[in-house]
Amino acid sequence: MILPQDLCYYNRHRDGALKDYIVAYADYFVSRGQRPATCRRVESIEEVLQAADVVSLHPVLNPSTHHMIDAGRLKCMKKCNPG
């Protein structure tokens, strides 16, 4: 069974292609009687870290992205429950 995802992302620029892809993929879930996936852009990296169960980063490494995720931002993340 495939579980639908609720995606949130941060990008300085809106990513219409990503959102369109998720909306189209949502139809797949609906056709199988499942809840559709959703996609929303948030206003900050901190918002992503507070909301996400999993975080995937894909920045170009340059002076503005070096140390993008520091101790302060790691503290924003959800606490995991390993048990």
Please tell me the distance from the alpha carbon of residue 38 to that of residue 83, in angstroms, as a whole number: 28
pLDDT at residue number 83: 63
- At position 2, the amino acid (one-letter code) is I
The answer to whether the beta carbons of residues 8 and 52 sit under 8 Å apart is yes
Q: In whole angstroms, what is the distance from residue 31 CA to residue 49 CA? A: 31
Domain edges within the chain: 6-76
Above 80 in pLDDT, residue 2? no
- pLDDT tens digits, residue range 22-81? 778 888 888 888 888 788 888 999 999 998 888 888 889 999 899 999 999 999 988 877
pLDDT (0 to 100) of residue 3: 57
**What are the residues facing 7 on neighbouring strands?**
39
76: its two tokens: 């924003």
